[in-house]
Amino acid sequence: MTSSAAQDHSESAPAFIEMLGISKHFGGVRALNNVDFSIRPGEVHCLAGENGCGKSTLIKILAGVYAPDGGEIMVDGQAHAHLTPAASQRAGVQIIYQDLSLFPNLSVAENIVFRRHLEHPGRVVRWRGIAAQAKGVMSRLGVDLPLGEAVGRLPIAARQLVAILRALAAEARLVVMDEPTASLTHHEIDALLQNVDVLKGHGIATVFVSHKLEEVMRIAERVTVLRDGQKVGTFAAGEIDRYHLSELMTGHKYTSSLKPAYSGTADPILEVHGLTRRGQYEGVSMAVRPGEILGITGRLGSGRTELALSLFGMNPPDSGEIRVKGKPVRLKTNRAAVRAGIGYVSEDRLSLGLVMPQSIADNIVVSVLNKLTGPLGLIDGARRRNTIDQWLGELHIRTKSADQPVQQLSGGNQQRVVLAKWLATSPSILILDSPTVGVDVGAKDGIYQIIAGLAGRGMAIILISDEVEEVLHQSHRILVMLGGQITASFHPATVTEKELREVISA
DSSP 269-313: SEEEEEEEETTTEEEEEEEE-TT-EEEEE--TTSSHHHHHHHHTT
Contact at 8 Å (CB) between 233 and 9?
A: yes
- Provide Rg for the chain, Cα atoms: 25
- Which amino acid, 267? D
What is the spatial distance between Cα 80 and Cα 499, in angstroms, rounded to a whole number?
51
The pLDDT assigned to 323 comes to 98
Contact at 8 Å (CB) between 245 and 48?
A: yes
**Residue 477 burial (CB < 10 Å; 0-12/13-18/19+)?**
buried
CA–chain centroid gap for 418, Å, is: 16
Cross-strand pairs, 207: 45, 176
For β-strands 17-26 and 70-75, DSSP reports them as: antiparallel
The pLDDT assigned to 427 comes to 95
What is the spatial distance between Cα 237 and Cα 481, in angstroms, rounded to a whole number?
33
DSSP 309-334: HHHTTSS--SEEEEEETTEEE---SH
Q: Residue 473 gets which letter from DSSP?
A: H
HEC string for 449-471: HHHHHHHHCCCEEEEECCCHHHH
Report CA dihedral (21, 25, 29, 30) to the nearest 10 degrees.
Answer: 0
What is the spatial distance between Cα 378 and Cα 370, in angstroms, rounded to a whole number?
9
The pLDDT assigned to 350 comes to 65
**Residue 69 burial (CB < 10 Å; 0-12/13-18/19+)?**
middle
Residues near 124 by Cβ (< 8 Å), separated by ≥ 6?
Answer: none
Nearest CA to 162 out of 93, 108, 237, 104 is that of 108
Cross-strand pairs, 17: 39, 75
What is the spatial distance between Cα 194 and Cα 143, in angstroms, rounded to a whole number?
11
378-423 pLDDT, tens digit each: 888 888 999 999 999 988 888 889 999 998 887 788 889 999 999 9
The pLDDT assigned to 117 comes to 61
128-151 pLDDT, tens digit each: 888 899 999 999 888 899 999 999
Which residues, given as ranges, of the chain have pLDDT below 50?
1-11
The pLDDT assigned to 379 comes to 85
Q: How many CB atoms lie within 10 A of CB 220?
A: 24
What is the spatial distance between Cα 146 and Cα 158, in angstroms, rounded to a whole number?
10
Contact at 8 Å (CB) between 463 and 471?
A: yes
What is the spatial distance between Cα 450 and Cα 448, in angstroms, rounded to a whole number?
5
The pLDDT assigned to 121 comes to 56
What is the spatial distance between Cα 451 and Cα 471, in angstroms, rounded to a whole number?
12
The pLDDT assigned to 6 comes to 39
Tell me the torsion sign for CA atoms 95, 96, 99, 104: positive
Q: Residue 359 gets which letter from DSSP?
A: B
pTM above threshold 0.75:
no
Q: How many CB atoms lie within 10 A of CB 35?
A: 23
What is the spatial distance between Cα 10 and Cα 222, in angstroms, rounded to a whole number?
7
- Which amino acid, 347? E
Edge to edge, what strands does the sheet with 174-178 contain? 93-96, 174-178, 205-209, 44-48, 222-227, 230-236
The pLDDT assigned to 26 comes to 92
